[in-house]
Amino acid sequence: MKACRLASGLNPSEPYSDYQLALLFTKQGKFKNALASLEKVLEKARQNGEAADYGELIRTNAEFSSLTPYKRYRLLLNRFSLAEE
């Protein structure tokens, strides 16, 4: 993670949430990094019982794993955006 922060120009000593990193990577056009950050957010939420439906989406949707990283990222970002409204 420290290498990712340095590579993206972030200060490695500042606390950034995975969601903040995903948004930053989005602005930089680094969608694979953004996807990885969103997947971490998703996994933490799933472990806390807050996002069972997202976990089910990924486990049961065989198409999800075949999507390009950018399309997976957009799907997850859209789901998170809808959940926050």
CA 80 to chain centre: 9
Which tokens belong to 55? 């976990």
Q: What pTM did the predictor assign?
A: 0.48
Domain that holds residue 20: 2-84
Q: Which residues are within 8 A (CB) of 56 and not within 5 positions of it... i.e. 6 or more apart?
A: none
Q: What is the pLDDT along the chain (85 residues), one digit of tens a residue?
A: 455 544 555 555 666 677 777 777 777 878 778 778 777 877 777 677 665 555 555 555 556 667 777 777 777 777 666 555 4
The whole-number pLDDT of residue 36 equals: 80
The whole-number pLDDT of residue 30 equals: 80
Domain count within the chain: 1
